[in-house]
């Protein structure tokens, strides 16, 4: 008697076009096709996100495969298994019955198995006299055989994506490390360049990175970081080539000018022009009296304490913090980007930032901060300007104000309060401040 293979589910379960498509795919398995069931299960597990299967569903699929007696699944063999829910729950590590039914439905929707339900919905097999299975009702594993190559391709795609994602994250880590350390090198080595703006550009790029980012976003950020890294590296290498190996600390302030106003760095050609200007200025008698060493950051902050109000926390520990504060002070003072760029080209970024901090400190006495900065920039080009006299004048004014307030009769204060109200300077600096002005 001929048997009928059921295609619709039992009871209230409805039939869908997706189930019909899965059954159609199961019939396309080539004759004699054989797959290693655990090997194909491994590829399904790797590609589960693309297939749409869940971890619990794969645990049930693993249990279903264990009920198949052979290690291979053959398109010509019997591929229906008929375990009861109790047996499946036992082999799925005690999964609850409701969870089992829900994830069995997931396997059906993903096209990994087909329901072959009996008339009463129970799962069983009817065998002949020789022990062979004449009719079985349960779960058909034929789609696994028919789609084995598809699962392998999906697993390869997942592996390729994981590898690309890993390489993208490695590249991002390396670029972030290189950019940060190159910026620190440029600041510590006094390489001319708008390093405060470079840091802001870097922070804007990495600020687009969320806690969990897709690969495409990481690659886009890597492209932006690589462009920034290339620009920084070119500036540092160009500056290193122009340096005289015998140059001392007084020669570390050469400036690099760039014809491109949008660049955050300065070029080598302007460096040679500035060196020539510096050589001519060195012959000027007025410049011979100016100090040749760099101003310490602590003295600059003592003379210009208002700049500390522009940084979060009110604390400046490094020159890079000072440069970042100068970038904030520029628009507050109404200094145009072109005036600031010209000042950085003529003085160097650190000296320009010190000048801007001094202008901020005296903002109540200066009508046009931008015009004043341009005037000092012109003097710097002629070699007739140094930040030392400006900073010393601010310190002297602060010291005079401290002395005048100390001479006024006030209420008695404790020694601790007096110590906090007095400007503390070294003896050498005090002697320098008390010299008569020329």
Are 341 and 267 contained in the same domain? no
Q: How far apart are CA 405 and CA 407, in angstroms?
A: 5
On whether residue 140 sits in a domain, the answer given is yes
How is residue 432 written in tokens?
Answer: 């320098």
Are 101 and 212 contained in the same domain? no
In this prediction, residue 4 carries a pLDDT of 62
Mean pLDDT of 364-388: 88
Q: Tell me: the pLDDT tens digits for 271-330?
A: 434 443 444 443 343 344 444 457 888 888 888 988 888 887 778 888 888 888 888 888
Which CATH number fits the domain that encloses residue 131? 1.10.10.10
Regarding predicted confidence, which is higher, 23 or 424?
23
- Residue partners of 121: CB distance under 8 A and separation at least 6: 10, 11
In this prediction, residue 272 carries a pLDDT of 39
Are 289 and 428 contained in the same domain? yes
On whether residue 328 sits in a domain, the answer given is yes
193 pLDDT band, cuts 50/70/90, is: confident
Q: Is 370:334 a contact under the CB 8 Å cutoff?
A: yes
In this prediction, residue 406 carries a pLDDT of 65
Q: Tell me: the pLDDT tens digits for 406-418?
A: 666 555 544 444 4
Q: Is 115:9 a contact under the CB 8 Å cutoff?
A: yes
Q: Tell me: the pLDDT tens digits for 131-171?
A: 677 678 888 888 888 888 899 999 999 999 999 999 999 99
Sign of the four-CA dihedral 155, 160, 163, 165: negative
In this prediction, residue 11 carries a pLDDT of 57
Q: Tell me: the pLDDT tens digits for 173-182?
A: 999 999 999 9
Is 341 a residue whose pLDDT tops 70? yes
Neighbours of 227 (CB within 10 A): 12
Are 300 and 419 contained in the same domain? yes
What is the number of structural domains in the chain? 3
On whether residue 277 sits in a domain, the answer given is no
Is 420 a residue whose pLDDT tops 70? no
Boundary-marking domain end, from 84, 112, 146? 146
On whether residue 247 sits in a domain, the answer given is no
Boundary-marking domain end, from 146, 165, 184? 146
In this prediction, residue 192 carries a pLDDT of 81
In this prediction, residue 223 carries a pLDDT of 94
Domain range for 307: 284-433
Are 77 and 180 contained in the same domain? no
How is residue 126 written in tokens?
Answer: 């009817």
Are 258 and 300 contained in the same domain? no
Are 234 and 327 contained in the same domain? no
In this prediction, residue 222 carries a pLDDT of 95
* CA distances from residue 42 to 152, 153, 193, 305 in whole angstroms, order as listed: 9, 13, 55, 66
Are 80 and 176 contained in the same domain? no
**Of all helices (H) and strands (E), which one includes residue 100?**
helix 97-109
Regarding predicted confidence, which is higher, 135 or 371?
371
Beta bridge partners of 35: 73
428 pLDDT band, cuts 50/70/90, is: low
In this prediction, residue 293 carries a pLDDT of 53
Beta bridge partners of 72: 36
Are 221 and 118 contained in the same domain? no
Query: What value, to the nearest 5°, has the Cα angle with vertex 278 and ends 277 and 279?
Result: 90
* CA distances from residue 354 to 373, 388, 408 in whole angstroms, order as listed: 11, 10, 33
Are 417 and 300 contained in the same domain? yes
On whether residue 4 sits in a domain, the answer given is no
């Amino acid at each position: 008697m001929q048997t009928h293979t059921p295609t619709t589910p039992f009871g209230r379960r409805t039939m869908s076009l997706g189930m019909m498509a899965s059954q159609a795919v199961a019939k396309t398995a080539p004759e004699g096709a054989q797959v290693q069931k655990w090997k194909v299960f491994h590829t399904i597990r790797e590609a589960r996100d693309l297939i749409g299967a869940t971890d619990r569903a794969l645990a049930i699929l693993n249990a279903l495969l264990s009920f198949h007696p052979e290690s291979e699944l053959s398109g010509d063999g019997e591929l229906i298994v008929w375990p009861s829910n109790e047996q499946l729950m036992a082999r799925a590590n005690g999964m609850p019955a409701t969870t089992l039914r829900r994830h069995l439905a997931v396997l059906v929707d993903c096209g990994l198995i087909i329901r072959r339900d009996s008339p009463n919905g129970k799962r069983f097999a009817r065998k002949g006299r020789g022990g062979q299975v004449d009719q079985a009702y349960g779960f058909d594993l034929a789609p696994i055989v028919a789609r084995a190559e598809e699962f392998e391709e999906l697993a390869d795609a997942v592996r390729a994506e994981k590898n690309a994602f890993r390489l993208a994250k490695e590249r991002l880590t390396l670029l972030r490390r290189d950019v940060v350390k190159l910026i620190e090198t440029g600041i510590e080595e006094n390489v001319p360049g708008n390093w405060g703006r470079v840091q802001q550009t870097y922070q804007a790029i990495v600020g687009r990175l969320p806690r969990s980012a897709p690969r495409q976003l990481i690659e886009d950020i890597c492209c932006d970081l690589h462009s920034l890294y290339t620009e920084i590296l070119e500036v540092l290498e160009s500056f290193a080539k122009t340096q005289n190996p015998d140059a001392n600390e007084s020669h570390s302030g050469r400036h690099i000018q760039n014809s491109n106003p949008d660049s955050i760095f300065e070029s080598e050609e302007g460096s040679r022009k500035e060196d020539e200007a510096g050589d001519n200025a060195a012959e000027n008698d007025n410049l011979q009296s100016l100090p040749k060493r760099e101003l310490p950051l602590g003295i600059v902050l003592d003379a210009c304490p208002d700049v500390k109000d522009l940084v979060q926390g009110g604390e400046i520990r490094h020159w890079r913090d000072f440069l970042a504060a100068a970038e904030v002070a520029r628009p507050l003072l109404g200094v145009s980007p072109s005036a600031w760029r010209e000042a950085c080209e003529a003085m160097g970024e650190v000296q320009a930032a010190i000048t801007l901090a001094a202008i901020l400190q005296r903002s109540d006495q200066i009508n046009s901060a931008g015009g004043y900065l341009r005037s000092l920039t012109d003097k710097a080009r002629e070699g007739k300007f140094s930040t030392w006299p400006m900073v010393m004048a601010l310190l002297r004014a602060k010291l005079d104000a401290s002395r005048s307030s100390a001479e006024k009769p006030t209420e008695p204060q404790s020694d601790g309060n007096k110590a906090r109200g007095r400007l503390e300077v070294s003896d050498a600096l005090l002697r320098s401040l008390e010299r008569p002005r020329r």
